[in-house]
Structure 1
Amino acid sequence: MEFITQLQTAFEANANADNQQQMQVYMRNLFHFHGIKAPLRKQLTKELVVAHKSFLQENIRDVVNKLYKLPQREYHYTAMELYQKFLNKKYNLEDGRFFTRMITTHSWWDSVDFLAKHVFGKYLLQFPEQKRKMLDYYSANDNMWLNRSAILYQLSYKNETDEVELFKQCTLHKDSEEFFIQKAIGWALREYGKVQPKAVLDFVKSVKLKELSEREAIRRLVRLG
């Protein structure tokens, strides 16, 4: 694909060894990097998107699949952002399986959190009939990152948040020993607390959460208690 070839050429030409080392250490050496920071990466991508817009509109899933198979993390970021850009509010029903594979491939907080908030959450707004089936599957799964996604998918919902569902997901996973699950519970509750602080405080008082989850949930709300 010409788009991917040109993207690789651009990224390789802008690789930075110093940034590469720092990024890989920050990400616990789980991924390879070109060492391109987000602003430059997005600018390089934007220029190519303009030139290949029609092609991307028609072939976005294939492009995303191919980018996700490349080793450098910058391609994974770009794949997720392009997927969200071109398919937002225009998902197919089958995209549920597609982005579930993305969540469970090259999984770490940076990719999972983007996909949970900007893709999974938006997909469920478009296909609410899929909500129960997908959330039950994510919640009961042995994959921690699917669990985290079920907790975080409403991060952008604000006043449209399904409070019952949010509290249900937090309760289901409240005893987890996983750091990323405890952190997700705190983050999801803290975010909802921006619009419904009393509801969050009441929930935290009524449910025994892990110390990290509780601390993260109420650290901006304690003055309202």
Structure 2
Amino acid sequence: MDPKDTVDTRDVGEPVGALVRAARAGLAELGDPEKATEMRRYMKSEMPFRGVPKPERAGLARRLFAAHPLPDAGTWAATIRTLWRTAEFREERYLAIDLSGHRAYAGWQGTGMLPVYEEMIVTGAWWDFVDEVAIRRVGPLLRAAPETLTPMLRGWAVDEDLWRRRTAVICQIGAKDKTDTELLTDTIESTVSTPDGLDFFIRKGIGWALRDYSKTDPDWVRAFVTAHPALSPLSVREALRRLPARTD
């Protein structure tokens, strides 16, 4: 999916514009320039920060979403996209992700939101955005609609975009016994075979996904690692980190 054109909040109706303006004003009020510099340095971000730590941002989100209820799924999606596309500070995009997972709108989650989440993944293009969307948005959709998501994720595993590939690998983190191990195998094998399959974020993501599943089925993970000698040392180390060393 190609990145969409920027949306100007002057061109969107209420209540979309009202929530977006309130979000910006709230972040500006809570912002701390010293923290902003530190946060930007830590995240290696080209986009500046306001300097609002997660606890304060979470409190702001609760107040914002309670004060600006959205009437329908279309308005909800439009507000998420507007917050995301017009963001000048990184925390505005964090709020867009928070809004996409707000419990009041859980009934509107569905495959129709995939274009929104895909846009966040491709244009966010960094782990702080992508991992939250992959695990907490794409993952639940996979479990709810495997007939749609499974072939899509197999395609993402060999996509030219690094962050689609990482999403394909890590999106089942937290699924426990609902993990589709065939899909996990396919996405890891496909991703490793891509030209930059040794990219740090791919190697780390593979290890993370396997380590998480090792809490559910350690024997499966041990067998997988043994059967895949092409896995990088980082992936193997991460995959086996929670497992005791064998004595046999």
SS of the residue 1:9 aligns to: helix
Q: How does 1:31-180 map to 2 (within 5 A)?
A: 31-55=47-71, 59-69=75-85, 70-85=87-102, 86-88=104-106, 90-174=108-192, 176-180=197-201
SS of the residue 2:123 aligns to: coil
Q: Are 2:214 and 2:221, in contact at CA under 8 Å, matched by a contact in 1?
A: yes
Unaligned runs of 5+ in 1: none
Which range is displaced more, 158-167 or 215-224?
215-224
1:65-101 CA-partner distances (Å, limit 9, x unpaired): 1111212110111101111225435334332222111
Specify the alignment match of 2:27 in structure 1: 11
Partners of 2:51 and 2:176 lie apart in 1 by 34
| Higher relative contact order (Cα pairs below 8 Å, separated by 6+ residues) | 2
1:117-150 CA-partner distances (Å, limit 9, x unpaired): 0111111222221023211221121000000000
Partners of 1:193 and 1:68 lie apart in 2 by 35
Of the three residues 219, 228, 231, the one matched with 1:207 is 228
Q: 1:182 to 1:74 in 2, by over 3 A?
A: same
Moved over 4 A (4+): 55-58
SS of the residue 1:104 aligns to: helix
What letter corresponds to residue 170 of structure 2 in structure 1?
L
What letter corresponds to residue 22 of structure 1 in structure 2?
E
Q: 1:180 to 1:41 in 2, by over 3 A?
A: same
Q: 1:192 to 1:161 in 2, by over 3 A?
A: same
Q: 1:57 to 1:172 in 2, by over 3 A?
A: closer
SS of the residue 2:47 aligns to: coil
- In the superposition, the TM-score normalised over structure 1's length comes to 0.93
Q: Are 1:89 and 1:123, in contact at CA under 8 Å, matched by a contact in 2?
A: no
Partners of 2:75 and 2:164 lie apart in 1 by 26
What letter corresponds to residue 126 of structure 2 in structure 1?
W
1:141-185 CA-partner distances (Å, limit 9, x unpaired): 100000000001111210111112112222222351200000000
Q: 1:92 to 1:53 in 2, by over 3 A?
A: same
Superposed displacement of residue 32, structure 1: 1.0
Superposed displacement of residue 202, structure 1: 1.1
Q: Cα RMSD between the aligned structures?
A: 1.7
Q: Are 2:150 and 2:183, in contact at CA under 8 Å, matched by a contact in 1?
A: no
- Identity among equivalent positions (%) equals 29
Of the three residues 27, 43, 68, the one matched with 2:43 is 27
Q: 1:47 to 1:58 in 2, by over 3 A?
A: farther
Count of matched residue positions in the alignment of Structure 1 and Structure 2:
225
Specify the alignment match of 1:222 in structure 2: 244
